[in-house]
Chains A and B, each alone.
Chain A
Amino acid sequence: MNKVIIEEEFISRLSDGMTIGIGGWGSRRKPMSLVRAICRSPVSNLTVVSYGGPDVGILCAMGKVARVIYGFVSLDSIALDPHFRFARQESTISATELDEGMLQWGLYAASLRLPFLPTRAGLGSDVMTINPWLRTIKSPYSDEEELVAMPAITLDMAIVHVNRADSSGNGQILGVDPYFDDLFLMAASQRYISCEELVDTEDFLKFGSHHTLAINRMMVDGVIVSKRGAHFTSCDSDYSRDEVFQAHYAQSAKTPESWQAFRDLFVLAESHQTYLEAVDSFGMASYGS
């Protein structure tokens, strides 16, 4: 089955109030072109689940988000995302902050169709008090340990960016870390991947070993071809993070005017292609030609 779709079709499948999981980690291999597609769409009131980076910051700044479920939000080389900080400090979003491992456990439980998975992580910390709905459970065995019952985090939609994909939805991750992308996809009812390059299935193993075939087509409903789709986050081994542009993104939080300029030129660029053209002219201006 050919699952290749265009961004407009992806946008048509979004709806208000959805819970969307976003793959990647911090400012690494984030499906940024799809994040911008969400920004262009009319949807709002989203719950976003993420090992957060600029995906979370941008969606918050665009007013798309009601709630964020996260372990951290960081730009890696810039420790804190100023747009996310602003949203938290102005209390424009509801925050569900979890230990990074608890977040994994929640996605894993959802992907295994279990109501929860037990863990020690969270015990004794304020994760239990800022999320008072979290429960503990006593081991039914003789150890009688009292563990956190991390509930499944089921997703309405997951979006993930990969290096290579074929038209039937197999995805190849060529970077050193697949992060938790497979869990995001398995925890979701609608699953979309964007890819740097669409390739023939028989060519996968020319790009990397079998270990890089992290996403199989059972996990995917739609494939969006999006070269440089993770920009400005890193997408090794295709490209590293655009640090100059990321610094510009962080700077844009300084004033409402600087954000508006950034938003209009980049975030709301009418297509991924328009975005890349704007990025390239910005790059020429910053680096000199």
Chain B
Amino acid sequence: MGRDITLADICIVACADAFRGDGEIMASAMGTIPSIAARLALSCFEPDLLISDGEAYFIRNPGPVGVSQTDAIDFQPVVEGWIPYRKVFDMLWWGRRHVMMGASQIDKYGNQNISAIGPWEKPKAQLLGVRGAPGNTVNHKTSYWVPNHSTKSFVSRVDIVCGVGYDRASQAGPTAQKYHKLERVVSNKAVFDFQSPDRSMRLVSLHPGVTSDEVATLTGFEFICAEPLSYSRVPTEIELQAIDRYDPKGLRFTEVDDRQAIG
């Protein structure tokens, strides 16, 4: 073993595994850990993914997170395509994309809120706005990364539905459901999918050291558990090297600050 494994590493490979099997599509990641995860997936097991620099280029060999991909001095980016926002919208309505977004609130059926907390007319907290979440979720695969698992983030009902969950897609009808697919939800405690009879959140794996009781206490709704329930996997040696390569400054700890060694 080269170095200790931390919770952030577990979260990164759990996020990376969301992109497993995606093939030649655009992997869009919001946040630091998803950005490391998408790069890791590209370099370790999904070599056909397309990753943008967050400005307007597809980079074949994305470099470290948190630095401008085209201004970095210590690596040579290979620009393989042009992807300004207008083309991003085209790609996503075309369906060739898997986005991993954040969620200020998420509910049992995967409805997500990044717009505002409290009543719409006079919110207690205005957040980003719905951004692309409504369009993303009804057009292509979507996953979520929630770095602070608590009853404030995993709620019984979100205040503003931005990303569409399974119940709302079903109520909206076949056009909303046609390309709607929520892949997985990764938190700093566990991994969920929606492989349950009513497409509600199902606990798939616990991060090492976490119990299902703890997750239940931190979650504002009831969920079923996969059988058998497993622990989230640890990164391979090669994956650890990839994490260090893509995040040399340890920006992952700004999202998951637990630096204790695991296992």
Contacts and interface: CB of A to CB of B under 8 A. Distances in A.
Is B a genuine binding partner of A?
yes
Interface of A: 25, 52, 70-74, 79-80, 84-85, 88-91, 95, 97-102, 104, 119-127, 130, 145-147, 176-180
B121 A102 contact: no
Given A25-B85, A91-B122, 19 more contacts: A52-B129, A71-B129, A72-B129, A72-B130, A89-B122, A89-B125, A90-B122, A97-B130, A99-B134, A102-B134, A120-B138, A124-B176, A124-B180, A125-B164, A145-B174, A146-B174, A176-B56, A179-B84, A180-B85
Contact of A99 (B82, B130, B175, B180): B130
Contacts of B175: 120, 123, 145-147
Given A71-B132, A72-B131, A176-B55, A124 B85 contact: no
B130 A120 contact: no
Interface string B171-186: 1111110111000000
A52 B129 CA distance: 10
B125 A85 contact: yes
A124 B84 contact: no
B168 interface: yes
Interface string B157-171: 000111110001101
Contacts, number: 138
Contacts of B75: none
Given A126-B162, A130-B120, A179-B85, A71 B131 contact: yes
Interface size class of B (residues with CB under 8 A): 35 or more
Given A102-B135, A125-B134, A97 B129 contact: yes
B86 interface: yes
A100 B176 contact: no
Given A72-B131, A120-B176, A177-B84, A101 B93 contact: yes
A71 B89 CA distance: 13
B6 to A, nearest CB: 25
18 contacts: A85-B125, A85-B126, A89-B124, A100-B131, A100-B132, A104-B86, A120-B175, A120-B178, A120-B179, A121-B139, A124-B164, A124-B180, A125-B130, A127-B162, A130-B120, A176-B56, A177-B55, A178-B86
Nearest to A91: B122
Contacts of B178: 120, 145
Interface in B7-42: none
Nearest to A176: B56
Contacts of A80: 126-128
A70 B55 contact: no
B133 to A, nearest CB: 7
Q: Which of A71, A79, A121, A123 is most buried by chain B, counting CB atoms within 10 A of its CB?
A: A123
Q: Which of A25, A95, A98, A177 is most buried by chain B, counting CB atoms within 10 A of its CB?
A: A177
